[in-house]
Structures are given as structure tokens and as C-alpha cells.
Structure 1
Amino acid sequence: MVRTPLTPEEHERGERLGRLLREARGGRSMTEIAAVAGLSAETLRKIETGRAPTPAFFTVAALAGALGLSMDDLVTRCAPVPAPGAGERAA
């Protein structure tokens, strides 16, 4: 099965998710949070650094639970940022 290449927007969304997770982790170690979420520290490292920009839903849900984040907040904060002028109609 060939995977469709990710768009720049998908990469950017993955980077935003990684930053948000790193910020929420604060001073706690990757190993600690990964263990609580039932993941490997390497998986968490890849997500936080944007090397895994499209993690599975259940992976994100487990991390959100381990970090005390709501899925609604994650969705809102990781949503694509509209380009200037996007959504405006041409006159």
C-alpha cells in the first residue's frame, strides 16, 4: 500500500500538535508520559518533533489523557490556520 504524501498543512498541523504536547508535558519526562499513555518514549519523541505528523487517534487520545488535555482543545489548537484572504469572495 502506497501512502499519499502529506501536504504542507498536514506537516504544519503535526508540528503544532508536537509543540502543544511538549508544552503540556512541562518538566515531566518523555518516559514518564509515554508510560502513562501506554506508548514508547520514541513514539512520543517522534510526535513531539513532528517526525510523526499524523499519529493515530487513539495515540493522541492516550497522550491527551496522560497530559490532562481535552480532545476538543487539541482539535481547536491544532486546526489549520486559514491563509490571509482565504474564504473571501472575489468581487
Structure 2
Amino acid sequence: MVRLPLTAEEVQRGQRLGALLRRARGGRTMLETALDAGISPETLRKIESGRVATPSFPTIAALAEVLGLSLDEVWAEVRQPEPGLDPADRLGRGRLVS
């Protein structure tokens, strides 16, 4: 399977998701949080650092549950558009889609 490059908006959304998860994790260790969510610590590290900008829904849902976040809270935080972002990227027109 060939993955298309991420748009600028997708990268920024991934960074906002990572920041939200780090804040919500607070004093909990990455290991504890990851294991409680049923994912590897490496996966959580990549999500928090923004290296995995588009994690799967079950992964996000599991992390939200473990961290006491509602999915509505996560979506509200992550979907905020960045000022100055090209509107074409916002609509997904900034890349080729098959």
C-alpha cells in the first residue's frame, strides 16, 4: 500500500494531538499510559512527538479513555485550523488523491 504524503494540516493536527496527550498524561509515565491503553510505549512516543500524525481511531479512543478525555474534547483540540494555513490544504486539495 502506498501512503500519500501528509498535508500541512494533517501534520499540525498530529502535533496538536501529541501536545494534548502529553498534557493529559501529566505525571503518568509513558510506559504506564501505553500499557493501560493496550499500545506499545514506542507507538505512544511517536504519537506524542507528532511522528505518527494520523493514528487509528481505536488507538485514539483507547488513549482518550485511559487519560480521562472525551473523544469530543480530543476532536475539538485537534481540529482547530492553524492561522495562515493554505485553504487548499484545509480542503485536502493540496495533494493528489486517487
TM-score (normalizing by structure 2): 0.82
Give the aligned length: 86
Q: Tell me the alpha carbon deviations over residues 19-69 of structure 1, each in whole angstroms, 9 at most, x when there is no partner.
A: 000000001000000011001100000000000000000000000000000
* Separation in 2, partners of 1:64, 1:33: 10
1:2-81 matches, within 5 Å, as: 2-81=2-81
Greater Rg over alpha carbons, structure: 1
Structure 1 unaligned blocks of 5 or more: none
- Distance in 1, matches of 2:47 and 2:39, equals 11
Distance 1:19 1:11 in 2: 13
Contact 1:9 1:80 in 2 (8 A): no
Structure 1 stretches of 4+ with a deviation exceeding 4 A read none
> RMSD between aligned alpha carbons?
1.6
Q: What is the letter of the counterpart of residue 47 of structure 2?
A: I
Amino acid at match of 2:15: E
Structure 2: where are the runs of 5+ without partners? 88-98
TM-score with structure 1 setting the length: 0.88
- Cα drift, residue 82 of structure 1: 5.4
CA distance in 1, matches of 2:49, 2:80: 18
